Amino acid sequence: MPTGACGINCDVCKLNLLGTCSSCGPGTSPLAEQKLATQQRLLGGTCAILACAQLNRVEYCLRDCAQFACDNFSQGPYPFSRGYLQMQNRRRRQNPPAFAPDKSPVEVPSQFWDELQSKDLNTLCNWTLFRLVSAHQVVFHFLNEEVLMDVAEGCLKRDNGRGWEKTQDPLLELVTVIYLNNVKKLHPLGREIVGVKDLKEAHFFQGPHILQTDPLLQRYGQDISGFEDAARFLEGRPVDMADAAYELFPFPRVPLYFLFWQGDKEFEPRISVLFDRSIEAVFSADAIWGLVNRVSTALLQGPTG
């Protein structure tokens, strides 16, 4: 693997072709160990980034470390410019873009909001454990944070420390509006836990609609403790279902179960998502697909701050 822990790809460097410089490799690799030993021998010291990544069992700083961009990057001489690090810090604070299966940007149709405006929010709160905070506003707990839905303005808001501020989170906005438009009663939880193949619309979850667990495997496939850290950060409850498994709550009465199996010599690592059977009463298959994507994105973002 030619990419160093810092993200520099040694495979495309002439110094590597000439044999002047060897690859650093990911922080968990034998290459990293060799490079650190060589640096110590030839230079009398080691790259702080590579040494830190190796010590902390981090493959790639930009992908795998919650501390990025740490002082080793911002204060050290290598390898990125201040402008690049500022861009990384700024964009990591933004919600990632949301796309439908056909790759078009997710938007909430205005008629969905119109329908919601005709509903009795107080009753919806009783069925969903959302909280009514004014005539047209409800607050709900999404994973590990409070989010306000302003039904009059047709948007979601997050608390920026000074008050509620409009937030761009189209996938969360879409599934929340769909949820409140569809819920018709309080659905008991815990009667049956099912996978996509057990859902009535199981046929939907194929081809472009397959659940998007590959990015989670890229990030956590070799890092079960990173997966557990992210799930705990999102207030997931551990459940005894796989090598690591957590019940996560995108809405107070809608649990999702993320199950992680570590790989071995025979099998690749695997991630599955299970549902409470009641999810079918409030979400169609495409909304379940969107909800799983939004929670997967939160797991990928991992612990912050």
Task: Look at the chain and count its residues.
Answer: 305
What one-character DSSP code corresponds to residue 62? H
Based on CB atoms, which residue is closest to ligand SF4, 58 or 151? 58
Taking a C-beta distance cutoff of 8 angstroms, is the pair 196, 271 a contact?
no
| Interface characters, 47-86, with ligand SF4 (x: CB under 6 A) | x-xx-xx--x-x--x---x-xx-x-x-----xx-------
Which strand (E) or helix (H) includes residue 172? helix 170-182
Using rule CB under 6 A, residue 8 touches ligand SF4: yes
Minimum Å distance from CB 72 to ligand SF4? 4
Rounded Cα distance between 263 and 198, Å, is 25
Using rule CB under 6 A, residue 31 touches ligand SF4: no
Based on CB atoms, which residue is closest to ligand SF4, 16 or 284? 16
Taking a C-beta distance cutoff of 8 angstroms, is the pair 67, 100 a contact?
no
Scanning residues 145 to 174, which ones bind ligand SF4 (CB under 6 A)? none
SS3 content of the chain, % helix, strand, coil (to 5): 40, 20, 40
Opening angle at CA 240, ends 144 and 283, nearest 5: 55
Using rule CB under 6 A, residue 22 touches ligand SF4: no
The torsion angles phi and psi of 74, rounded to 5 degrees, stand at -75, -30
Based on CB atoms, which residue is closest to ligand SF4, 2 or 101? 2
Minimum Å distance from CB 31 to ligand SF4? 10
Residues near ligand SF4, by CB under 6 A: 4-6, 8, 24, 47, 49-50, 52-53, 56, 58, 61, 65, 67-68, 70, 72, 78-79
